[in-house]
Structure 1
């Protein structure tokens, strides 16, 4: 089992990190095209490693 990250990202964190509007992050989730997220109660969170893999998959598709 791998260690838990020091902190999981909020939708605001993801939007700020990627330089996109917060609504874009929510649209990705609704359309199931964005990074995988999970709920902790009513709070949406993103694993930094999963976000990194999602970004990497986008950049690899661009090269093809």
Structure 2
């Protein structure tokens, strides 16, 4: 049983805790903090919540947001069938 509240989320084996702050999420996704602020202000970022002044994100919300991005990309760029 995994009790450390982490899940492997990328090909390099990096783990994302159950709850992360904005700077941790930006580092994990390899984007700037400003990129995440911009996405959120446009209504296109992950759902988060504030603890004091700091934004926090649940791993489940980040995973759902990433899955939505993948689905949208799949719709924009459907796999082309190969001619046999």
Q: Which segments of 5 or more consecutive residues in structure 2 lack a partner in the other structure?
A: 6-16, 76-84
Q: Aligned Cα RMSD in Å?
A: 1.5
Tell me how far 1:22 sits from its aligned partner.
Answer: 1.1
Structure 1 length as normaliser, TM-score? 0.80
Question: Which residues in structure 2 correspond to 1:44-55 (within 5 Å)?
Answer: 44-55=55-66
Higher helix share: 1
Q: Structure 1: which 4+ aligned runs deviate by more than 3 Å?
A: none
How many residue pairs get aligned? The number is 60
Question: Which residues in structure 2 correspond to 1:1-64 (within 5 Å)?
Answer: 7-64=18-75
CA deviation vs aligned residue, 1:5-62 (integer Å, no higher than 9, x gap): 6641111111111111111011112222100111122221000110001001110111
Q: Which segments of 5 or more consecutive residues in structure 1 lack a partner in the other structure?
A: none
Equivalent residue, structure 1, for 2:78: none
Structure with max Cα Rg: 2
Higher strand share: 2
